[in-house]
Structure 1
Amino acid sequence: MKLVGIVGSNADQSYNRMLLEFIRRHFKLKFELEVLEIKDVPMFNQDDDQSDSFAVRYLYNKITRADGVIIATPEHNHTTTPALKSTLEWLSFNLHPFENKPVMIVGASYHDQGTSRAQVHLRKILDAPGVNAYTLPGNEFLLGKAKEAFDEEGNITNESTVAFLESCLDNFIKYVGVVSQLKKPKPIEPEDLDCGKPIATSITEIDPDDPEWLEKASKLVNAVEGDTYVKLDQGLLTVNQLNMFLNAMPFELTYADDNNQFLYYNNAHQDPETMFAKRVPEQVGNRMSTVHGSLPPARMKNVEWVIGTLRNGNQEYVRTIVPGSPDSVINTHNYQAMYYPDGSYAGINEIVFNFKPWLDWYLKETGQRLVGGHGAGPASHGAADATSGASDSAGSAGAATDADSGASAH
């Protein structure tokens, strides 16, 4: 389960930030929590629409894709901070990421009563038209005397307080599961699989379907290769090292950008006929419509469904098990959305691999075995579910997806 936590203060020193960071660390086995800041969100002014600003769009994208939201609110003059109120104004003006989204409220303050009044006001705001959040009833976590509540490492010292916080979070997890059943995915617009909407990184001078696209495009943009160093987020590698690293992955990896152009696959040295998703060098740079050109219209719709589902944030990923594989193979495809720094959709990272050896190894190491389903053997996968999303749910179209619905299908 993926949750986001919103720090309801724009102050550099915030006990509500400490509270969310404690939740993130202490309960990391229950859910994934990403803490979001509102420091850079401009003051709300409907005459100067900032809905497309980086700060607002970033929050919108993160909240949209999350299964639920935890807001940690301070209390200023018996209500929320102006910064939090302004943020919620922007996120209910032209953008509406909180609509039908499960939200939990927590808060920390200097005084005994915690943030009780601010939480009452925040509940009213979240229930307002334009916001329409599903706020968890009851389960009020009010952390008073915040200065004394944390130790030097940022941990809550009182065990009873931690136990009560855990009970509230457990209830929220259940609440998210209930509310997720009411979620209506955004309608999927027709996908342009012909790369007709170039993006900043598109190389428009070369025809995407040119079989020599890679060499021509590389020459055009003076692409580096060989022992030239590339500075990554957390590393410094040469192009050769980067290629070795990616080719050593025990998976088939592909990338198609948000203009639906197929730009990369690893293991180029491998015989295409031995791959779980056949790829050839000439496909690099191709339009997705060309990559999937041999598919019948019904299966092309599956391609559009996968892309549209990830683009809309209806699901964080789509997973499929390709039917008809031999007993020694569980042909697994994972389509994962990728994102730009502002949180908007940047394309699909597809991972293809045989899950069977991993499953057999796990069963052997743990002394377990699979029961039920169809087929023989301890690792029978006949009853495996075909798809799952960020909240372990997938649309009906997902059940029909197969290997040919991915970025690298043929």
Structure 2
Amino acid sequence: MKLVGIVGSISEKSYNRKLLQFMANNYKNLADIEVLEIKDVPMFETGVEPNEAVQYLNNRIKDADGVILATPEHNHTTSPALKSVIEWLSSALHPFIDKPVLLVGASTTKQGSSRAQLDLRQILESPGVNALVMPKDEFLLSNAHEAFDEDGKLKDERTVGFLGTVVKDFIQWVNVLNAMQKNNNIKGDWKSEDLSASQGTDTTINGVDMEDPNWVEKAAEKTNAAEGKDYVKLDRGVLSVDQLNWFLTTMPMELTFADDNNQFLYYNRTTDNGPSMLAPRDPSQAGSSMDSVHPDRAKVGVKHVIHQLRTRETDLVQMPVPGNKINEKHIMHYYKGMYDENGKYRGVNEWVLDLWPIVKSYLEMTGQKLVKDENAPDVTSGASNKSASKMPGMPKSEPVDAVFGASNDDSVPHLPVKEDPVPTSQPEVNPYSLEAVLDATSGASEDEVVEEPKQDYPIEENQTDATSGASEE
């Protein structure tokens, strides 16, 4: 999670700066906290354009998941400098609207910044600012001149423990608010899904052109990424990067990872020959936006699939690839939503698999055969009075490409689009129905069959103490 902490004082020896720096260092396993200064922000003046420092604060706040404001207390109120910053950021600029905010404060007195925090809360909740200030515990560091050791760390373990609880509560609150806001913005509106990867996320590697064909190498250099014999600690294991590559490239399926910003980050290159892949990809596409690695005809379907995963309408979408042939191949695409420990959508895991070798092996081992079900709809023509089930992930009135993988190759087979002519001798078939998909995938003849088991044996089926309480800088 990306948070920004704003020092509400311009003092060179600010205890609020020390507090935020301690939080950034001590709780970096919980969140990435960037500490921002306000000393270059002038006093607010109506009719004057915001300067560079104001614009910078505006952009950092907008890009963050939440904001921590650390305020001193000046005559029972927040500091004039911080008040001026909020004036700038609620006139022409409005980055605090619906932004989760945590208030903290440090002071040299026992009562400290309690009244300043109350004043700041009222300012932040006023019209034009409209911040979402966390209503729970406030953190008020009293006797701040005695609270830190020479390394800038808080001395009292109870204070550290309470502050950690406050930070965890804030992170949980941010996750809940962000999930609610995101769902309100995109629920039911799959067309709003942005495939350009322009929004960024907390894992985005900035400073590297995502369309650069050498993105992998440049991004690795910028981040000092582990490679070769370097080890990576995983959830249940420790592997070198070489071992990870060996492991992934020998998977019996093609894997693709696209993040929650819709940036295509990885595929397990099981072969150097892209066209021989089940879903052709090119090494230069890694790092590109989902928009640039899909032909236009595919983007409608891609948006709809990602939208369903992002909003948790479903966590798995699956579909066959057109061009499948009975007794030769049956390639399936699966799209699984990925979510972090807080339930936040973090991207899509796509795998592509030819099921026919598995089915063939099963039939050979069990002595069974595939036989045609005479009661099944005629999937060869699509002419059936029975209503076919809709393929998951398909919009009702837009064309879609069955191949979600990164490919600009127009030779890649795709679902029939609505512009395709419908033979006059047959009733019109919804191009997104199961009938149409099966018709496109199998090209079935009267001799081709679907599975029916044939066997003669069964199958197994808020109050703190004086140390962590009130705090005057």
Report the alpha carbon displacement of residue 75 of structure 1 after superposing the two structures with TM: 1.7
Match of 1:292 in 2: 294
Q: Does 1:386 align with 2:388?
A: no
1:356 — aligned with what?
Answer: none
Structure-to-structure mapping, 1:216-235, within 5 angstroms: none
* 1:78 aligned residue: 76
Identity %: 44
The answer on 1:159 being equivalent to 2:110 is no
Hey, what does 2:15 align to over in structure 1?
15
**Cα distance between partner residues in 1 of 2:172 and 2:195:** 38
How many angstroms apart in 1 are the aligned matches of 2:275 and 2:26? 47
Range with greater deviation from structure 2 (133-142 or 389-398): 389-398
**Secondary structure at 1:106 match in 2:** strand
Equivalents in 1 of 2:84, 2:406: separation in Å? 40
Question: Do residues 28 (structure 1) and 9 (structure 2) align?
Answer: no
Correspondence 1:171 to 2:122:
no
Matched, 1:150 2:148: yes
TM-score w.r.t. the length of structure 1 is 0.55
Query: Please, which of 57, 60, 81 is the counterpart of residue 58 of structure 2?
Result: 60
What SS does the corresponding residue of 1:71 show, helix, strand or coil? Answer: strand
Q: CA deviation at 1:284?
A: 10
1:132 aligns with 2:83: no
Q: In structure 2, what residue type is equivalent to 1:62?
A: R
Instruction: Provide closer, same or farther for how the CA distance between residues 289 and 7 of structure 1 changes in structure 2, counting only shifts above 3 A.
Output: closer
CA RMSD of aligned residues (A): 5.4
Q: Determine the C-alpha separation between the residues in 2 that align with 1:77 and 1:31.
A: 33
Deviations 1:194-231 (A, max 9, x none): xxxxxxx99xxxxx9xxxx98xxx9xxxxxxxxxx9xx
1:17 offset after TM fit, Å?
A: 1.4
CA distance in 2, matches of 1:276, 1:153: 57
Number of residues paired by the alignment? 304
* Cα distance change on mapping 1:271 and 1:104 into 2, 3 Å: same
Within 5 Å, give how 1:311-330 maps onto structure 2: 323=318
Change (3 A) 1:132 1:404: farther
Q: How far apart, in 2, do the equivalents of 1:158 and 1:261 lie?
A: 44
The answer as to whether partners of 2:58 and 2:93 remain within 8 angstroms in 1 is yes
Instruction: Show structure 1 runs of 5+ residues with no match.
Output: 194-200, 203-207, 219-228, 236-245, 315-319, 326-381
Unaligned runs of 5+ in 2: 197-207, 225-240, 249-254, 321-333, 350-391, 395-400, 410-473
Q: Distance in 2 between matches of 1:21 and 1:63?
A: 17
Q: Contact (CA 8 Å) 2:89, 2:95: kept in 1 or not?
A: yes
Q: Is residue 2–residue 390 contact of structure 1 (8 Å, CA) maintained in 2?
A: no
Amino acid at match of 1:124: Q
Q: What amino acid maps onto 1:48 in structure 2?
A: V
Q: Does 1:49 align with 2:49?
A: yes
Q: Equivalent of 2:115, from 111, 114, 117?
A: 117
Does the Cα contact within 8 Å between 1:292 and 1:404 map onto a contact in 2? Answer: no
TM-score of the superposition, structure 2-length normalised? 0.49
Q: Is the 8 A contact 1:180 1:391 kept in 2?
A: no
Partners of 2:108 and 2:39 in 1: CA distance: 21
Q: Which deviations, in whole Å up to 9, do the C-alpha atoms of 1:249-299 show, x marking residues without a partner?
A: 9499999xx9x999x9998x9321476863347979999767422644522
Q: Is the 8 A contact 1:63 1:97 kept in 2?
A: yes
**What secondary structure is seen at the aligned counterpart in 2 of 1:166?**
helix
Q: Deviations over 1:19-78 (max 9, x none)?
A: 11212222233333222222333432331222xx54334333333343322211112233
For the residues of structure 1 that align with 2:342 and 2:32, how far apart are their CA atoms?
12
Distance in 2 between the 1:118 and 1:186 partners?
A: 34
2:256/2:405 contact within 8 Å kept: no
CA distance in 2, matches of 1:63, 1:148: 31
Say if 1:101 and 1:134, in contact at 8 Å, map to a contact too. yes
Contact 2:7 2:36 in 1 (8 A): yes
